[in-house]
Structure 1
Amino acid sequence: MSHCCFRLFLLPVFFLFAAGASATAGDDKPVDRGRYLVTAGNCASCHTAAGGAFMAGGVAFETPFGTLYSTNITPDPTTGIGNWNEDDFRAAMRHGVRPDGEHLYPAFPYTAYTRLTDDDLAAVWAYLREVPPVQSLPPENGLVFPFDQRPLLAAWKLLYLESGPYEPVPTRSAAWNRGAYLVEALGHCSACHSPRNRLGAEQAELRHAGGEYLDRIPGGGFRPWFAPNLTAHPRGLALWRHEDLTAYLATGRNDFLEAFGPMNEVIMNSTRYLNPADIDAMATYLKALPAAGSASVTTEPPGEELLGRGRSLYNLHCGTCHLPSGEGDPEMAPRLNRGSLVVQAENPASLVNVILYGPEIAGADPERQWFKPMEAYRYLLDDAEVAAVATYIRNAWDNAAGTVAPAQVARQR
């Protein structure tokens, strides 16, 4: 019972063209509007395996409860949803129930999709009926007992599922409400950016305050990643301006960083195809989220010896591109000084992954590419050295994000 953002690879480009992501939200034809909504929901990333057919499922989700595989949502009658009707589809999206009455695992984020309006659900259904059918049966799930017992999800839903379409807030602007709909319903951003309890449910009081989840690293395998805080927290989106966020969602790059890791497919397969008004609305909503999360760094501040060791390693391996000031360079490397949500995050998992394995850059903006890709330091630096340089980066210049321990690096290896 986890969320849907678990992959690092990008879909082949022809999948994106198959999705027809150029449609806009205002298209009158239900199929065209549904195509746009499916793109906004990033459905292809979860339901299209690397090298597999479009929407035919089979993507592995590694969770604390075992392995889940996404389903085939093409209109194939035997292995897909070809025998479903619109009411069946609506029940799955709104209530997480299959036509046979079995409960769906919330790795399929019906906890967010339930907020879609009836008209939008009808449009998504119309589009999915037009996807080429593919006969493909995903592998069996590998969940541990008792989480392999679907009837238990009835109790889970009583505790954590609030079904029903999004209700606009009349005291808020049209842009804010549209952004809330895109972020909370279609985009299901909280699925990755919120911490979860022991039963895999999002912690409501820390919604969008950052969350750890399993996803692929370059070269294969799954490791923990940390999705940054999206609220107005000092180590979250308070660090970015509105235009920094719109640039990131539209192109995968702003003055602070370029998308890498699990965010690649969100940018490449979804947000870069949204119209500017919708991207602006998402930024409007996200920038209005009140601060959530710990107010201070919970780890002990690093000592001078550790910082000195980290500084030496940084100047040797990182300073040429990121500069000794940490300000980066538009052609060489992103900024590491105050402004990087990854550097500032309370959990250093994503920063450590970048150091160990190197970033897989999305490259959504071909006009702006780094002169030299960052190399992986997995075999060049030991755990203590990676911890030292990560600690230095997180505490140098204007940063103040706490110490990274060698044990945290070992966990990421």
Structure 2
Amino acid sequence: MSTIRRRLRSLLVALLAVAGAALAYGFVAAGERSVPAPLASYGATLEQGAYLARAGNCQTCHTQEGGEPFAGGLPFHTPFGVLYSTNITPDAATGIGSWSFTDFHASMKHGVRPDGSHLYPAFPYSDFARLTDADIAALWLYLQTLAPVNQSVPDNALDFPYNQRALLAGWKALFHDDATFEPDPAQSDAWNRGAYLVEAAGHCGACHTPRNALGAERETLAFTGGSYLDRVRFGYYRRWSGVNLTSDVTGLAAWSEEDIVDYLRDGISGNAVVHGPMREVVLNSTSQLSDGDLQAMAVYLKSLPANAQPPGPRPGAATVAAGELVYTVHCGSCHLPSGEGDGVLGVSLLGNPIVQAADPASLLNVILYGPHLPPRLVVGRSAMKMFGKRLSDTDIAAVASYVREEFGNGAGGVTPEQVKRQR
């Protein structure tokens, strides 16, 4: 175990012990949890619940590859170990068939199971807590209509002390806010709807915000890009980087509202083509939302003030020169010497959020493994080769550094060691 990891673990234990002690002395009490009104009082509908399930991308996270929808078992690889998503079909033995609406409400608002034990925040209840009780009721009604699937999920494989659920009481005391979303009267209806979808139902910050040593989102850097583990081609799990969604030049500054709508609806815009983990978000969630809601999300995202994480050290002149040579030979025919892309085979690299992400992991994954595109977009764009076996770590680091330095970008260099970690 590295020195850094030992220090982070010690910090986690210490902070959670303090928070747990505070909890024990009554600073946070289970009795303070909100209790919903009777289910029938909300006037919730199945159609509303089905739509919310799509907005929350529930199927993607609760369906393992080749498995039954919503039956759980999808692994989440985290710095603390492996977690598996739960079965949320109404099977009484292995799913949530024995739960009441109050039980479900408590899981969404407070991150607890019916027996009172804590849920791990890989289930983003800190975002879902912001949903209105009426929307939680609608989602509950919809889940009750799913076909029950009798399927147990594997036990979590977390390191000590992260496998001690009781410590999550301390984590919640530090980081969990169960307040429902409140519209801002100073903003438009579209802005408020977009904020609700982005911040609550869509839980976009879960992947697009960096996290601290305790696994909580760093609020001062909200939506400036996050890092997480997910699959690349061939089933390997590697780091990915969620891009900056603020109006910074490293984020969506060059994107119009129409660009954002096109990307969320179709997976393609004048600025980018969806790939990697985001493909499931588009396929199973945003592509199935109304144009009005997509426009609202775009309005909200474009309103986020510019913010960014510090760039890494700039690459040296020799690295940039070496990267330019690799780019000219292997990349320039599709992305053009100017980096503007030919509009068919190569996307623009100018101000590209993936290229400029604080963590270059997603860029490196594209270079190493090729873009992982939705089936309907695999046409000419699938011609991009996987360069993992064609180029050395040094060459890939050089060309990644080059595109992050040129074309109006300024994201910092990439080292061969970073490339090696992505292989």
TM normalised by structure 2 equals 0.88
Partner of 2:355: 343
Partner of 2:328: 315
User: 2: CA distance between counterparts of 1:47 and 1:195?
Assistant: 23
Q: Equivalences for 1:40-59 in 2 at 5 Å?
A: 40-59=55-74
Unaligned runs of 5+ in 2: 1-15, 17-42
1:232 has 2:247 as partner: yes
User: 1: CA distance between counterparts of 2:45 and 2:167?
Assistant: 36
Partner of 1:176: 191
Q: Equivalences for 1:46-195 in 2 at 5 Å?
A: 46-195=61-210
- Encode CA deviations 1:168-203: one digit per residue, 9 max, x unaligned: 111111000000100000000000000111111001
CA deviation after TM superposition for structure 1 residue 371, in Å? 5.1
User: 1: CA distance between counterparts of 2:168 and 2:320?
Assistant: 48
Secondary structure in structure 2 of the residue aligned to 1:247: helix
CA contact (8 A) 1:35 1:124 kept: yes
Partner of 1:398: 408
Partner of 1:388: 398
Secondary structure in structure 1 of the residue aligned to 2:373: coil
- Encode CA deviations 1:342-382: one digit per residue, 9 max, x unaligned: 0111221110111011111124568xx43543111111111
CA contact (8 A) 1:251 1:364 kept: no
CA contact (8 A) 1:261 1:360 kept: yes
Q: 2:383 is aligned with what amino acid?
A: P
Secondary structure in structure 1 of the residue aligned to 2:152: coil
Q: 1:121 is aligned with what amino acid?
A: I
Moved over 6 A (4+): none
User: 2: CA distance between counterparts of 1:250 and 1:359?
Assistant: 19
User: 1: CA distance between counterparts of 2:380 and 2:166?
Assistant: 50
Partner of 1:16: none
CA contact (8 A) 1:103 1:153 kept: yes
CA contact (8 A) 2:371 2:382 kept: no
User: 2: CA distance between counterparts of 1:37 and 1:371?
Assistant: 32
Partner of 1:300: 313
User: 1: CA distance between counterparts of 2:61 and 2:101?
Assistant: 21
CA deviation after TM superposition for structure 1 residue 118, in Å? 1.0
- Encode CA deviations 1:106-155: one digit per residue, 9 max, x unaligned: 00010000011111111000000000000000000001111111111111
CA contact (8 A) 2:44 2:137 kept: no
User: 1: CA distance between counterparts of 2:376 and 2:53?
Assistant: 19
User: 2: CA distance between counterparts of 1:300 and 1:122?
Assistant: 49
Calculate percent identity across the aligned residue pairs. 52
CA deviation after TM superposition for structure 1 residue 292, in Å? 2.0
Secondary structure in structure 1 of the residue aligned to 2:233: coil
Structure 1 stretch 71-80 or stretch 207-216: which is displaced more?
207-216
Q: 1:394 is aligned with what amino acid?
A: R
CA deviation after TM superposition for structure 1 residue 401, in Å? 1.9
Partner of 2:305: 290
Q: 1:39 is aligned with what amino acid?
A: R
User: 2: CA distance between counterparts of 1:209 and 1:371?
Assistant: 28
Partner of 1:23: none
For 1:410, which of 395, 398, 420 is the aligned residue? 420
Measured on the aligned residues, the alpha-carbon RMSD in Å equals 1.5
1:221 has 2:236 as partner: yes
**Structure ranking higher on relative contact order (CA contacts 8 Å, 6+ apart):** 1
Secondary structure in structure 2 of the residue aligned to 1:407: helix
Bigger proportion of residues as helix: 2
Unaligned runs of 5+ in 1: 2-27
User: 2: CA distance between counterparts of 1:228 and 1:298?
Assistant: 13
For 1:362, which of 368, 374, 385 is the aligned residue? 374
Secondary structure in structure 1 of the residue aligned to 2:399: helix
User: 2: CA distance between counterparts of 1:194 and 1:290?
Assistant: 14
Partner of 2:365: 353
CA deviation after TM superposition for structure 1 residue 259, in Å? 0.3
Q: 1:331 is aligned with what amino acid?
A: V
For 1:325, which of 326, 334, 338 is the aligned residue? 338
Q: How many residues align?
A: 382
Q: 2:260 is aligned with what amino acid?
A: L
Larger Rg, first or second structure (1 or 2): 2
